[in-house]
Amino acid sequence: AQSVDQPDAHVTLSEGASLELRCSYSYSAAPYLFWYVQYPGQSLQFLLKYITGDTVVKGTKGFEAEFRKSNSSFNLKKSPAHWSDSAKYFCALDPNTNKVVFGTGTRLQVLP
């Protein structure tokens, strides 16, 4: 069965630092991978996705993610981080069965 692991429940860093949120997945075939962001009190918004092709994908708000098949990871990155990036970030796997699987999320706090 497919699954997504986000090992860091909380990440705190200072504004201007580089951020990297970790995501690993378990799936036997080629995955569709997503990152969504949830700002406090709001719903989830699409950030970026990997379908095929270039392993580094760029999304909104200056974020990018790197797909690494060798270690089944899809880490989210941004440099520099801004206080407005404080939110909860979800990694998700779409196994092309219309049943998207989400990780437990990482709460990011960026200190001004």
Partner 1 sequence: EAAVTQSPRNKVAVTGGKVTLSCNQTNNHNNMYWYRQDTGHGLRLIHYSYGAGSTEKGDIPDGYKASRPSQENFSLILELATPSQTSVYFCASGPDRGGNTLYFGEGSRLIVV
Strand partners, 89: 37, 106
Site map 56..85 versus partner 1, x via CB under 8 A: ------------------------------
Which is closer to partner 1, CB of 59 or CB of 80?
Answer: 59
Which residue, among 17, 23, 8, has the nearest Cα to 101 in the 3D structure?
23
Sign of CA dihedral 61, 94, 40, 16: negative
Which is closer to partner 1, CB of 23 or CB of 81?
Answer: 23
CB of 112 to partner 1, least distance (A): 26
Q: Does 34 bind partner 1 (CB under 8 A)?
A: yes
SS3 62: helix
Q: Which of 12, 46, 60, 68 binds partner 1 (CB under 8 A)?
A: 46
Strand partners, 34: 49, 92
